[in-house]
């Protein structure tokens, strides 16, 4: 039994530790590795037991989602479930499950809300948006910059130039999300039907692109953190000096991060270069 029906970070307190990980970052990479293993060229007989388990987990999540459960961006806590639902929608050819993924409001799933395309940077950047309860305002962002390790340490850059968090490329981006996002992006590329279910467009951002996770994963693996050009002064509370907040981090940490998995990394090395082009969806 897997209990995964409570919103916010404290949902980990109800996870039965013998059956599922506690922390969301572990849940995310484990779920994605399971999806990637189902994409191997094993026999249908070998795949059937894990496929049944995977789909049953998805059916439980469907009921929870219909009951109001959300997985909004929150540090490293809430990602990894969207892929479970998307794959189940394809495997079961179920339009109702598909709608729970494709038609969900922006930031109902962490994989969407924690990534966004910025025309200023010309990149998909990392960082979660301002929330209805007042987190990740401009003031909150600068509090994090000036007090690393305190407050909401995963806020996006309010000016849209660099990766967010209390240090660009570090904190929750490095520790708890980037490697799972890489694995999720590979699953979406290897099974293009999933891309047509995914849909991550931000209706409030005119520069938003669908499937931001694909571009982010490629950038993280091949380049690393995005930290310049950046006109804002380090710890300057909005002051511009043209030098930037974390210029030394630009291009650092490429393909690094915790909560990774050697199988997922091996799958990327073996199949990313030959993966199909981005899907064309109706």
**Residue 207: its pLDDT value, please?**
64
Contacts of residue 62, defined as CB under 8 A and 6 or more positions apart, other chains included, come to 85, 88, 96, 97, 100
Contacts of residue 265, defined as CB under 8 A and 6 or more positions apart, other chains included, come to none
264-269 CB contacts, 8 Å cutoff, 24+ apart: 264/29, 264/32, 264/33, 264/36, 264/179, 264/182, 264/183, 264/186, 267/36, 267/183, 267/186, 268/182, 268/183, 268/186, 268/221
pLDDT: which is higher, 282 or 232: 232
**CA distances, 66 to each of 96, 177, 225, 261, 271 (Å):** 10, 26, 36, 31, 35
Contact criterion met (CB below 8 Å) for 238 and 4: no
Short-list 191, 267, 277, 254, CA closest to 33: 267
End-to-end CA distance of the chain: 37
Contact criterion met (CB below 8 Å) for 71 and 36: no
List pLDDT tens digits, range 97-135.
999 999 999 899 999 999 999 999 999 999 999 987 778
List pLDDT tens digits, range 17-54.
899 899 999 999 999 999 999 999 999 999 999 999 99
- Across-strand partners of 117? 124
Short-list 185, 195, 201, 178, CA closest to 259: 178
List pLDDT tens digits, range 153-206.
899 999 999 999 999 999 999 999 999 999 999 999 999 999 999 987 666 666
Structure tokens at 268: 């990327």
Structure tokens at 139: 């003031």
> What φ, ψ does residue 187 adopt, rounded to 5°?
-60, -40
For the full predicted model, state whether its pTM sits above 0.75.
Answer: yes
User: Residue 69's Cα: distance from chain center in Å?
Assistant: 17
Contact criterion met (CB below 8 Å) for 215 and 221: no
Q: Is the pLDDT of residue 252 over 90?
A: yes
């Amino acid at each position: 039994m897997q209990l995964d029906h409570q919103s916010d970070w404290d949902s980990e307190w109800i996870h039965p530790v013998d059956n599922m990980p506690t922390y969301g970052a572990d849940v995310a990479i484990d779920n994605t590795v399971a999806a990637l293993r189902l994409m191997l060229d094993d026999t249908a007989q070998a795949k059937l037991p894990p496929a049944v388990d995977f789909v049953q987990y998805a059916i439980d999540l469907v009921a929870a989602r219909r009951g109001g459960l959300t997985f909004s961006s929150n540090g490293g806590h809430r990602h990894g479930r969207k892929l479970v639902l998307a794959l189940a929608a394809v495997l079961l050819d179920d339009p109702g499950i598909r709608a729970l993924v494709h038609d969900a409001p922006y930031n109902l799933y962490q994989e969407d809300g924690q990534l966004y395309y910025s025309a200023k940077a010309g990149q998909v950047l990392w960082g979660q948006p301002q929330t209805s309860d007042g987190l990740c305002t401009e003031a909150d962002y600068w509090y994090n910059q000036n007090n690393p390790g305190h407050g909401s340490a995963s806020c996006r850059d309010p000016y849209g130039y660099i990766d967010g968090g209390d240090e660009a490329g570090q904190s929750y981006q490095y520790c708890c999300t980037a490697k799972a996002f890489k694995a999720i992006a590979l699953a979406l590329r290897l099974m293009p039907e999933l891309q047509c279910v995914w849909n991550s467009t931000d209706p409030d951002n005119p520069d938003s692109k669908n499937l931001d996770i694909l571009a982010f994963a490629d950038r993280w693996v091949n380049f690393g953190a995005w930290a310049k050009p950046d006109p804002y002064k380090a710890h300057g509370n909005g002051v511009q000096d043209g030098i930037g907040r974390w210029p030394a981090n630009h291009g650092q940490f490429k393909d690094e991060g915790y909560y990774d998995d050697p199988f997922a990394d091996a799958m990327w090395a073996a199949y990313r270069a030959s993966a199909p082009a981005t899907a064309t969806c109706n």
